[in-house]
A = this chain, B = another copy of it.
Amino acid sequence: MRLPVQPSLLTPTQARAQFRTGALPLTTSGWCRGHTQANLLAVPHDLAFDALLFAYRNPAACPVLEITDPGDPHPRSLAVDADLRTDLPAYRVYENGTLVAEVPDATDYWRDDLVAFLIGCSFTFEAALTSAGVPVRHIEQGRNVPMYVTTRECVPAGRLSGPLVVSMRPVPPALIDTAREVSEAFPTMHGAPVHVGDPAELGIADLARPEFGDPVDLHPGDVPMFWACGVTPQAVVMASRPEFALTHAPGRMFITDQALVLPA
C-alpha cells in the first residue's frame, strides 16, 4: 500500500512525474521543500534577444536561471530528465498578447523555434522564511500567492515593455526585517522586496483583488510585503502583444532539481 506523501516532502522528480501525468495543484508553493522553483517564458527565436535583453535590464523581476536552445524543451542544468512541455502543472498560451488557452500539457503548443527562459521564483525562499519564523499566510490558508500588476514600468527592451508584477506576503511588523534579510539572500529568486507597506504606492487599489493567484487574509497588524514577480513577463506579453508566447500558469511553477542550503 502506497502512503500519500506531503507535497513538501516530494522530490522534484516525483513532483514533475505527478504533473506530467495530470496532477493539477492550485499552486506549487510549498512543494518540494528546499528546491528552486522557476517561472517559464518561452518565445519564438525571433523575439529571444528582446526577451533576454528585457530580463537583463530588469533583473529583479526576471532573474534568468537557464535558457534553452531553440526548440529544445529539455533544460540542461536545472533538472535532469525534465520536459518543459509536460512537467509543469499548467501553462498559459498567449497569441498577440491575448491569453488564448490554459492547459495542463503544452505539447500541442510547442514550436521548433521556441526559446525557453527559466526565471527564479520567490516560492523558493518561502521555506527559508518559515525556518526563520516568518509565517507564510497563503500556505497557511491553502491558497496561491496573490500577484498584482503595478503602475511601475519595467525598463523596455526592443519590442517588449510593460508593467512590473509583484507577489505579496503579509508579515507581522516585528518580522519585516527578518523577511527582508532572508529574501535578500536569494538574489536570483527576486531577492529583497521592492516595496513594504501601502499598496497604493505601487498603484494597487485593492489587495482583495489580485490580477493573478488568490487573495490572502491579513492577520491584524500584518504589513503587506511586495516582491518582484516572474509573472512580469506575462504582463509584458499582454502589453507588447508579440505573435506568440508560452508561459507557466501563475503560481504553478517548474520545480527544478536545484537544492538550496536552507537555514537550520
Contacts and interface: CB of A to CB of B under 8 A. Distances in A.
A53 interface: yes
A67 to B, nearest CB: 6
A176 interface: no
Contacts of A57: 67
Interface in A29-86: 45, 48-49, 52-53, 56-57, 64, 67, 69-70
A225 B53 CA distance: 33
Contacts of A49: 45, 48-49, 52, 115
- Chain A contact-residue range equals 10 to 19
Given A69-B158, A158-B69, A53 B56 contact: no
A56 B48 contact: no
Contacts of A56: 52, 64, 67
Contacts of A53: 48, 52, 67
Contacts of A45: 49
Interface string A197-233: 0000000000000000000000000000000000000
A64 B57 CA distance: 11
Nearest to A52: B52
Nearest to A69: B158
Given A49-B52, A57-B67, 13 more contacts: A45-B49, A48-B49, A48-B53, A49-B49, A49-B115, A52-B52, A52-B53, A52-B56, A53-B67, A56-B64, A56-B67, A69-B158, A70-B158
Interface of A: 45, 48-49, 52-53, 56-57, 64, 67, 69-70, 115, 158
15 contacts: A45-B49, A48-B49, A48-B53, A49-B49, A49-B52, A49-B115, A52-B52, A52-B53, A52-B56, A53-B67, A56-B64, A56-B67, A57-B67, A69-B158, A70-B158
